[in-house]
């Protein structure tokens, strides 16, 4: 029995079977590479689902985490903590939002968005508003409320959904205007729908959503869990569109691979959260916060958001050349920064499998979309190697 089979058998005996795992058992990782138990090397174009934006085991982040484990691990949010405050200061310096609530994941960050929206409307504005509107194709998490604003396929077996959540067709401003009522508290949007197939929002539609929210006294929320922390080419994807949401969520890349999420909001909206209104035991713990500070320092120093924008533009142009050279294979290439999608004209599993055998780890979403979420410091030569392999695999498929 192989090393992989042995580990898989152990996992199957003790873990809930909630994941369709890849046929790889990862033993170690470094930079942009993964290594399995048989010594095989893979180029990681998934980065832990947009988490490892600096690559794996970044030495500067590893050193800070190690030092922090000898200083302070956890005391709860009943105490002031220097590391947490320092990270909050760095985060608020990146946007117009000036208050931070730390948590542990993207779903929790979106829960915070929903809770603060309802509480602001009801306690501060004295409006009987509670409903949150989302758009088709979105994905905001796996909790009950985030399922309620997400795709129907993830709701199977979990009905009934919580009340107060409505979804309309992406791109339809008239439908949104009709859906907004006095009961509407907020509208939530992803600037690029990642799980939905890498669909950047039309800029005019996105601006129209913000305008309708302002007109109707509805809060405008943006989910930056996957698009944030420089991946779009700016610190936050909404900045690519010139938007200013009342609040936004983030997670994934913020702590360099350690579990952390956050919600950023305006001073005005922050009035809704007073003592005891919301909380978390582990959110913003010193180890994750120290890692986050170092991650942001490196991103600023190495200009990684700017680099992501430039590298993403190059990659889209490169993939478009493959599309032109192989008529009928690729329907569309889409993306923003280093959040990239190659939409095939046929089910993509055989292509994904063939690329994995060649040593390229990426994601397949919506059955036809090859999704790339590489580290922001990926070398162009690595993306070129992937492009060459992709063209080889597609040509073999067409033969």
Q: Encode the chain (399 residues) as per-residue pLDDT tens digits.
A: 788 999 999 999 999 999 999 999 999 999 999 999 999 999 999 999 999 999 999 999 999 999 999 999 999 999 999 999 999 999 999 999 999 999 999 999 999 999 999 999 999 999 999 999 999 999 999 999 999 999 888 899 999 999 999 999 999 999 999 999 999 999 999 999 998 899 999 999 999 999 999 999 999 999 999 999 999 999 999 999 999 999 999 999 999 999 999 999 999 999 999 999 999 999 999 999 999 999 999 999 999 999 999 999 999 999 999 999 999 999 999 999 999 999 999 999 999 999 999 999 999 999 999 999 999 999 999 999 999 999 999 999 987
Residue 129: phi and psi, rounded to 5, are -120, 130
Cβ-based neighbours of 93, under 8 Å, separated by 6 or more: none
What's the pLDDT score for residue 105? 97
Residues 234, 88: contact at Cβ < 8 Å?
no
What is the number of H-type helices and E-type strands within the chain?
14, 17
CA distance 86 to 84: 5
Q: Residue 367 corresponds to which tokens in the numbers above?
A: 């059955």
d(CA 309, CA 314) in angstroms, rounded, equals 9
Which pLDDT belongs to residue 151? 87
Cα–Cα nearest to 338, from 200, 223, 224, 232: 232
Structure tokens at 225: 């869990």
| Whether the predicted model's global pTM rises above the 0.85 cut | yes
Measure the CA dihedral 227/228/230/231, to 10°.
Answer: -20
CB 271 within 8 A of CB 242: no
CATH code for the part of the protein at 3-57+303-398: 3.90.1150.10
CATH 3.40.640.10 in the chain is located at 72-301
Q: What is the C-alpha separation between 267 and 30, in angstroms, rounded?
A: 40
Residues of the chain within CATH 3.90.1150.10 domain(s) are 3-57+303-398
Structure tokens at 270: 């922050």
Question: Has domain 72-301 been given CATH number 1.10.3720.10?
Answer: no
The SS3 of residue 386 is helix
The bridge status of strand 247-250 relative to strand 199-200 is unpaired
């Amino acid at each position: 029995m192989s090393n992989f089979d042995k580990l898989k058998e152990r996992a199957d005996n003790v873990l809930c079977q909630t994941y369709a795992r890849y046929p790889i058992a990862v033993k170690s990782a470094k930079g942009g590479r993964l290594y399995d138990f048989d010594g095989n090397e893979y180029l990681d174009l998934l980065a832990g689902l947009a988490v490892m934006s600096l690559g794996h085991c970044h030495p500067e982040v590893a050193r800070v985490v190690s030092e922090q484990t000898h200083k302070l691990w956890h005391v709860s949010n009943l105490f002031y903590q220097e590391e947490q405050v320092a990270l909050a200061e760095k985060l608020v310096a990146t946007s117009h939002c000036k208050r931070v609530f730390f948590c542990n994941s993207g779903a929790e960050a979106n829960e915070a968005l929903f809770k603060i929206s309802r509480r602001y409307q009801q306690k501060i504005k004295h409006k009987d508003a509670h409903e949150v509107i989302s758009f088709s194709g979105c994905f905001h998490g796996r909790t009950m409320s985030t399922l309620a604003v997400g795709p129907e396929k993830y709701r199977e077996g979990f009905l009934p959904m919580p009340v107060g959540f409505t979804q309309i067709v992406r791109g339809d401003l008239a439908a949104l205007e009709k859906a907004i009522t006095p009961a509407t508290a907020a509208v939530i949007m992803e600037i690029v729908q990642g799980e939905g197939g890498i669909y950047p929002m039309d800029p005019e539609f996105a601006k129209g959503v913000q305008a309708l929210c302002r007109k109707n006294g509805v809060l405008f929320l943006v989910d930056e869990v996957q698009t944030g922390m420089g991946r779009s080419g700016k610190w936050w994807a909404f900045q690519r569109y010139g938007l200013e949401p009342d609040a936004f969520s983030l997670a994934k890349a913020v702590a360099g691979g350690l579990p952390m999420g956050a919600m950023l909001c305006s001073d005005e909206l922050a009035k809704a959260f007073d003592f005891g209104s919301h909380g978390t035991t582990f959110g913003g713990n010193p180890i994750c916060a120290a890692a986050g500070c170092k991650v942001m320092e490196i991103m600023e120093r190495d200009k990684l958001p700017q680099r992501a924008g430039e590298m993403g533009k190059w990659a889209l142009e490169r993939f478009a050349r493959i599309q032109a050279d192989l008529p009928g294979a690729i329907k569309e290439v889409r993306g923003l920064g280093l959040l990239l999608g190659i939409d095939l004209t046929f089910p993509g599993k055989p292509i994904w499998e063939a690329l994995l055998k060649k040593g390229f780890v990426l994601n397949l979403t919506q059955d036809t979309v090859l999704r790339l979420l590489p580290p922001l410091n990926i070398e162009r030569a690595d993306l070129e190697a992937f492009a060459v392999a992709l063209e080889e695999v597609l040509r073999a498929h067409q033969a």
